[in-house]
Amino acid sequence: AQSVAQPEDQVNVAEGNPLTVKCTYSVSGNPYLFWYVQYPNRGLQFLLKYITGDNLVKGSYGFEAEFNKSQTSFHLKKPSALVSDSALYFCAVRDMGMYSGGGADGLTFGKGTHLIIQP
C-alpha cells in the first residue's frame, strides 16, 4: 500500500522568507511524486512532479521540490514567499512498480498543509 504524510497542518512564513512544506511517503517500489495547490473553493492545480532523474525538480510559480530517497521525502520549497502563495498544498504519490503495464489508478494524497504567508 502507498501512503503520504504531511506532518504540518499549517505553516506560517513571513513574506520574502524561504518556505518549506514537508512531505514523506511510503511505497513498496519506486515513487512518482506530485505537488498540487488549492485555493479556496477551487480545484487543485498541478505544481510539479518527480518521475525519475534529477532529485531537484522545478515547477510553477517559482516552487521546487527535492526528492530524497533515503529519507523518503519530497519537501516543497520556495526561496522567497509571496502573500499570494497562501493556499492549501497537497503532496501525492503513486507506486511506480504498479504501472509497468500501464494503468490509471488514482493518486494517494496527503491531508494537506495550509501555507500562510504574512505580509
- Alpha-carbon distance 40 to 109, whole Å? 18
CB of 119 to other proteins, least distance (A): 26
Binding site for other proteins (CB under 8 A): 9, 32, 34, 36, 41-46, 49, 51, 90, 94, 96, 98-99, 102-107, 109-112
State which residue, 41 or 70, has the beta carbon closest to other proteins. 41
Strand, helix or coil for residue 73 = strand
State which residue, 82 or 96, has the beta carbon closest to other proteins. 96
CB of 111 to other proteins, least distance (A): 4
Q: Cα 105 to the chain's mean position, in Å?
A: 19
Strand, helix or coil for residue 85 = helix
CB of 118 to other proteins, least distance (A): 22
- Alpha-carbon distance 46 to 52, whole Å? 17
CB of 94 to other proteins, least distance (A): 6
State which residue, 103 or 119, has the beta carbon closest to other proteins. 103
CB 103 within 8 A of CB 97: no
User: What separation, in Å, do the N-terminal and C-terminal C-alpha atoms of the chain show?
Assistant: 41
State which residue, 15 or 73, has the beta carbon closest to other proteins. 73
